[in-house]
A and B are shown apart, each in its own frame.
Chain A
Amino acid sequence: MSDPRAKVTGRLPLLGDGLDGTAGGAADPGPGLLHARLLTADVAHARLAVDTTPARGLPGVTAVFSGRELEAALGGRPLRFGPVLRDQPPLAVERVRYAGEPVAVALAADPDDADEALRRITVTYDPLPLVTDPIAALTGATTDVGTSAVTGTSAVAGTVLHPRDGAPSAAFPEIRLRRGAGTNLVNHFVIRKGDAPGALARAEHVFTDTFTTPAMHHAALENHVAVAVPDAQRIVVWSATQTPYKVRVQLAELLGLPLDRVVVRTLHLGGAFGAKCYAKIEPLAACLARVTGRPVRVCLDRAQTFTTITRHATRATIETGVRADGRITARRVTAWFDAGAYADISPRVIKNGAYGYGGPYDIADIWVDVYAAYTNRPPAGAFRGYASPQAAFAYEGQTELIARRLGVPASQVRRVNLLRDGSRNVTGETMTDCHYDTLLDVAEHALADGALAGGALPDGAPDAGLGGDADPPVGQCLRGRGVALTVKGTNTPSVSQAAVLLNRDGSLQILTSTVEMGQGAHLALTRLAAEALGIEERMISVSLPDTDTTPYDQQTSSSRSTIAMGGAVRDACANLLGLLTRLAADHCGVPAEQVRAGGGQVRAGATSYGYGELVTVLRAGQLRCEGAYASQGGLDHETGQGIASSRWHQASGSAEVTVDVETGRVRVLRYHAAVWAGRVVNPVEARMQVEGAVLLGLGSALGEELGLGPDGGQAQRTLLDYRLPALTDLPVITVDLLGGPDDEIHGLGETAVPPVAPAVAAAVADATGVVITDLPLRPDRVLAALRASRGFAAAVPTSGAAVPTSGAAVFRDDVHPLQLPAAQRAEHERTPR
């Protein structure tokens, strides 16, 4: 566990720090560190010729490589990596597939010398047709789908990004793919529950709607960084990664080494949000270290990080059959995920997307087809929420549309369809631990009390909101409220292992490969161990991941660490108590049944020892116990039926917005997030995870979007073009962590993300009568939708939630949702509403 003082003094060791790449001594690459600087492609699709000759021999420059030269230096075999399909080269070879792809590298002890070398490299591009739309990528046809986020501009039939297939990776050997070699199909995931076509044919009403979400940038403020250190026998890679053990597998297979010869270590991470899952720049760093025999540091700049990995742009068409009361009788979903130029983890992401489209609803007959397709965009991968936010925007958007068309409240559509204990979900699993009724209750009541939104707020305010600058409203502002209810799964099956080491002074070391990236996992593990052993938290420290010494963990992702690694740590602690009991029984000559270990003490008959005291008395040196957690599950390849997730992360959101009818600007005044948290281990950190999830969701709802430039490259590559939520965008955020001390622990890292965008969209619909089906809700898009909808201001929308006062009340928006003082907000959070 890090000292909080390190966080406020800038002394938290980060891998990018240090004169010599040692992060102030926290990492130790040894002497001779070389800095690698990358030359990246400025076109999206082309045949490539790289001439590095002019860059060679410059003062201070140790080496320069193109992709082909790097392969030649390592023996000539193709270098390809990827967690599922090994389709990505560390440096482009022959062909560049996205703008921003690394095409050459220069190495020097002084990074300025490497930069100078890059300026001498000449790259010749012979353009290839661009594939920018996943649908066109698969059909070979251009599509005409308006302004959708995944509409391409110039797809050409027959352009296949990867004519030769990537070999499967050992990182995810269990993933079975459905794809055709020699096409742009990365994977096609199928769910077949019941007979959706038949049920749709029989349905009273069938509604078909299409929703799109754009690509997004993770924007962890710490850019990707890795340091690879070779020695005769093996290679050590320090990396800011969320997945040290997966990276180890990927590097081992890339370099042809057994796993024990590859070591992956991490320090603390400056944020991650999914971007740092699986190998990204580690393969390049490792290859360069092998070739040069020296430690090599690869540290990306923001523009390079922008194009390293993104969130999938999606397009989903949902066809839903309903009865007049809103009961869903059938659903068929076809969705396309833009995987970008390399598969990364897309094959797995679309699985979660596929089961996500069922939502928290009980649908007897549902078929889902999700396609991930290669395009000439930067690769897309894991992103906080893991396809759930994209799916939730679609299914909850359709919930609103269905309600409006049937003339019933959206609340009713939700209520008659909710999954409850005993229901069978989209993958046919019989549900338990369902809390959707409660979450919906909370969501519908959260904003019913208008006390927060009126003039009672302190101080008045400057006007500001995400999706606009600090300008006052121009026109009338319509106010609306909306609700969304969502579900997200977690990585299943999954495995975590941990060890605890008890020292003779009673202090405890937790050895874990869980990566601490700000989410508070190490604090949670500390607290769980302290509880299990009955010792003080200050007696406990948590290791940083090191595959040489810390036990196996699948990965730090998927809101799984407190459950999975927490389970492993609790198991290790239970084993330690058992060991202490046996040792004390032997030592004191009493039956083990008469020994009690717990609360920091071991009592054997009349004798009592502190834990450390017992270690000392026994001359045991140090006691070590292992622990493990494993969840079971998996889906049938043909039908997508089975256990998709070991936990279901359930959440609701309530948003109150204003929409400026002259500018189309949407401002979120307040937002209530409710999550089923079960037992909360650390309420402070848990609340922050939820608040952070809401802010990420607000960015996705209102402004964040990676578009395409006229040249087919990604339009946004700086944080000036790509605006993140700032303090002036902060609405009043309130949080409910539902559950109690006797409930099971549920993951919280992502749970609150999926409801945000659909809740905001529902609030905009409540305000204006217009359901917008494309993210983000940019002013121009909102304005266009309002103008396309005649008489929107007069329309009285069907209020979706139990918020009868909302409607399309027109008022002059002259107050701002200021953050309440902490004391007042705490009071608000405690006050029954």
Chain B
Amino acid sequence: MTVDRDPRLPLCLVVNDDEVEVRPRGHHTLLDVLRRELDLVGARPGCTVGACGSCTVLLDDEPVSSCLLPAQLVGTRHVRTIEGLESLAVPGSLHPVQQAFIDHTAFQCSYCTPGFILTATALLTREPDASRERIQAELAGNLCRCGSYVKIMDAVLDARDRLRGHHDDGSPYDGSPYGGAPHNGTADQQTADQRVADRGTPDRGTVAQP
């Protein structure tokens, strides 16, 4: 039979603080190895051209698109995936960035969420005082088609403040439940109605009604 033109070769990687041995083919990317050999599926294929950020992992604490990186080029750099983020936090609890995403419901389908969380974590580690604009610019390489950007910004800003150890309003953090227990929905709506009522009937001038 034919010779395997692209044989599997053994390779040692450091993934989430563990040394692992994998056997990728030459064309396999880090994303291939994570998903196919290590069952670390939080890094997800979206575009495979480095445009969407769904496959983001940290390489020595810097975000990279794992879909673009040949596994053989990872070398001794430490790979951290979303599955390995919790170990950075207090044991038994989520990383503060993860927790902030939950508290702000900063996701819809959540396909993009691990990528956003890892990119934000790297940024806030490197620049604890990152400005809103820095955060926006840094996260612009991660796409969310559901359009959760408003909440993602809220979450990352909140995470920044938590990691800096204070809150703008001085209140201690309380983990509100996902989906918002009665989020004043009724009050919100009445406010919206009231707002219209407060404005009164707009002047429709002298236009005859049909």
Q: A residues near B, CB below 8 A?
A: 4-12, 14, 16-19, 24, 58-59, 112, 116, 218-223, 268-271, 273, 301-302, 325-327, 362, 412, 415-417, 438, 441-442, 444-445, 458-459, 461-462, 464, 470, 517-520, 523, 527, 537, 677, 679-685, 688, 691-696, 718-720, 724-728, 730, 733, 736-741, 802, 816, 818-819, 821-823, 830, 832-833
Q: Would you call B47 and A9 a contact (CB within 8 A)?
A: no
Interface status of B63 (Cβ within 8 A of chain A): no
**Complex interface residues of chain B between 124 and 144 (CB less than 8 A to chain A):** 131-133, 136-137, 139-143
Q: Would you call B145 and A271 a contact (CB within 8 A)?
A: yes
Q: Is the interface of B mostly helix, strand, loop or mixed?
A: loop
Q: Contacts A682-B179, A738-B193 given; indicate if A518 touches B48 (C-beta within 8 A).
A: no
Q: Would you call B199 and A412 a contact (CB within 8 A)?
A: no
CA distance A593 to B178 in the complex (A): 39
Q: Would you call B41 and A727 a contact (CB within 8 A)?
A: no
Smallest beta-carbon distance A242→chain B, Å: 12
Q: Contacts A221-B52, A271-B146, A518-B146 given; indicate if A688 touches B151 (C-beta within 8 A).
A: yes
Residue of A nearest to B40 (CB): A10
Q: Would you call A459 and B133 a contact (CB within 8 A)?
A: yes
Of listed B117, B150, B151, B193, residue having the most chain A CB within 10 A: B150
A268: which B residues are within 8 A, CB to CB? 109
CA distance A80 to B64 in the complex (A): 43
Q: Would you call B109 and A518 a contact (CB within 8 A)?
A: yes
A685: which B residues are within 8 A, CB to CB? 105, 179
B46: which A residues are within 8 A, CB to CB? 221-223, 302, 719
Q: Contacts A441-B202, A695-B147, A727-B140 given; indicate if A16 touches B44 (C-beta within 8 A).
A: yes
Partner of B140, one of A9, A415, A726: A726
B41: which A residues are within 8 A, CB to CB? 10, 14, 16-18, 24
Partner of B207, one of A9, A11, A325, A684: A325
Smallest beta-carbon distance A602→chain B, Å: 25
How many residue pairs between the two chains, A and B, have CB atoms under 8 Å in the bound complex? Answer: 276
CA distance A5 to B107 in the complex (A): 11
B181: which A residues are within 8 A, CB to CB? 537
16 A-B Cβ contacts within 8 A?
A10-B82, A220-B111, A302-B48, A325-B208, A327-B210, A415-B204, A416-B208, A458-B132, A679-B189, A691-B147, A692-B147, A692-B148, A724-B145, A727-B139, A737-B188, A821-B157
A727: which B residues are within 8 A, CB to CB? 136, 139-140, 142, 149, 152-153
CA distance A110 to B192 in the complex (A): 57
Q: Would you call A517 and B109 a contact (CB within 8 A)?
A: yes
Q: Would you call A677 and B149 a contact (CB within 8 A)?
A: no
Q: Would you call B193 and A221 a contact (CB within 8 A)?
A: no
Interface status of B169 (Cβ within 8 A of chain A): yes
Q: Contacts A221-B145, A269-B109 given; indicate if A14 touches B140 (C-beta within 8 A).
A: no
CA distance A736 to B190 in the complex (A): 11
Q: Contacts A7-B113, A719-B52 given; indicate if A688 touches B105 (C-beta within 8 A).
A: yes
CA distance A19 to B192 in the complex (A): 50
Q: Would you call A8 and B191 a contact (CB within 8 A)?
A: no
Q: Contacts A221-B145, A739-B193 given; indicate if A8 touches B210 (C-beta within 8 A).
A: no
Q: Would you call B25 and A220 a contact (CB within 8 A)?
A: no
A682: which B residues are within 8 A, CB to CB? 179-180, 183, 185
**Complex interface residues of chain B between 78 and 131 (CB less than 8 A to chain A):** 81-83, 85-86, 94, 98-99, 101-102, 104-105, 107-114, 117, 131
Q: Would you call A222 and B207 a contact (CB within 8 A)?
A: no
A693: which B residues are within 8 A, CB to CB? 147
Smallest beta-carbon distance B42→chain A, Å: 2
CA distance A325 to B207 in the complex (A): 7
CA distance A685 to B179 in the complex (A): 7
A537: which B residues are within 8 A, CB to CB? 179, 181
Q: Contacts A683-B188, A725-B147, A802-B202 given; indicate if A822 touches B154 (C-beta within 8 A).
A: yes
A327: which B residues are within 8 A, CB to CB? 208, 210
Partner of B195, one of A271, A720, A832: A832
Partner of B102, one of A8, A301, A461, A733: A8
Q: Is the interface of A mostly helix, strand, loop or mixed?
A: loop
Q: Would you call B98 and A8 a contact (CB within 8 A)?
A: yes
Q: Contacts A445-B199, A684-B105, A832-B198 given; indicate if A720 touches B51 (C-beta within 8 A).
A: yes
Q: Would you call B47 and A688 a contact (CB within 8 A)?
A: no
Write the B28-56 contact mask toward A (1 if CB under 8 angstroms, else 0): 00000001110101111111110110100
B184: which A residues are within 8 A, CB to CB? 683
B105: which A residues are within 8 A, CB to CB? 4, 684-685, 688
CA distance A693 to B86 in the complex (A): 32
Smallest beta-carbon distance B44→chain A, Å: 7
A220: which B residues are within 8 A, CB to CB? 109, 111, 145
Q: Contacts A270-B44, A692-B146, A736-B192 given; indicate if A59 touches B4 (C-beta within 8 A).
A: yes
Smallest beta-carbon distance A490→chain B, Å: 20
CA distance A819 to B151 in the complex (A): 10
Q: Would you call A738 and B196 a contact (CB within 8 A)?
A: yes
Of listed A5, A301, A683, residue having the most chain B CB within 10 A: A683
CA distance A660 to B205 in the complex (A): 34
Q: Would you call B139 and A684 a contact (CB within 8 A)?
A: no
CA distance A810 to B181 in the complex (A): 47
CA distance A9 to B54 in the complex (A): 13
Q: Would you call A59 and B2 a contact (CB within 8 A)?
A: yes
Smallest beta-carbon distance B165→chain A, Å: 18
CA distance A326 to B206 in the complex (A): 13
Q: Would you call A442 and B196 a contact (CB within 8 A)?
A: yes
B36: which A residues are within 8 A, CB to CB? 19
CA distance A759 to B192 in the complex (A): 21
Q: Would you call A416 and B153 a contact (CB within 8 A)?
A: no
A59: which B residues are within 8 A, CB to CB? 1-2, 4
Q: Contacts A4-B102, A520-B108 given; indicate if A10 touches B145 (C-beta within 8 A).
A: no
Smallest beta-carbon distance B175→chain A, Å: 11
CA distance A9 to B48 in the complex (A): 21
Smallest beta-carbon distance A822→chain B, Å: 4
Partner of B186, one of A218, A325, A741: A741
Q: Contacts A518-B109, A693-B147 given; indicate if A730 touches B210 (C-beta within 8 A).
A: no
Residue of B nearest to A690 (CB): B147
Q: Contacts A719-B47, A737-B189 given; indicate if A18 touches B39 (C-beta within 8 A).
A: yes
Q: A9-B42, A688-B150 are in contact. List 12 more A-B contacts (CB 8 A).
A: A8-B113, A8-B114, A10-B43, A10-B44, A10-B113, A220-B109, A327-B208, A682-B179, A726-B142, A822-B104, A822-B158, A833-B199
Q: Contacts A221-B54, A301-B48 given; indicate if A822 touches B185 (C-beta within 8 A).
A: no
Interface status of B194 (Cβ within 8 A of chain A): yes
Partner of A684, one of B42, B145, B183: B183
Residue of A nearest to B169 (CB): A823
Q: Would you call B202 and A271 a contact (CB within 8 A)?
A: no
B174: which A residues are within 8 A, CB to CB? none
Q: Contacts A14-B44, A271-B146, A719-B49 given; indicate if A112 touches B6 (C-beta within 8 A).
A: yes
CA distance A739 to B205 in the complex (A): 26
B168: which A residues are within 8 A, CB to CB? 821, 823
Smallest beta-carbon distance B153→chain A, Å: 5
A9: which B residues are within 8 A, CB to CB? 42, 82-83, 85-86, 94, 98, 114
Q: Would you call A822 and B157 a contact (CB within 8 A)?
A: yes
Smallest beta-carbon distance B104→chain A, Å: 8
Residue of A nearest to B178 (CB): A4
Write the B3-34 contact mask toward A (1 if CB under 8 angstroms, else 0): 01110000000000000000001000000000
Q: Would you call B188 and A819 a contact (CB within 8 A)?
A: no
CA distance A302 to B4 in the complex (A): 27
Of listed A685, A727, A816, residue having the most chain B CB within 10 A: A727
B186: which A residues are within 8 A, CB to CB? 740-741
Residue of A nearest to B183 (CB): A683
A415: which B residues are within 8 A, CB to CB? 204, 207
Q: Would you call A222 and B109 a contact (CB within 8 A)?
A: yes
A688: which B residues are within 8 A, CB to CB? 105, 108, 146-148, 150-151
A740: which B residues are within 8 A, CB to CB? 186, 189-190, 193
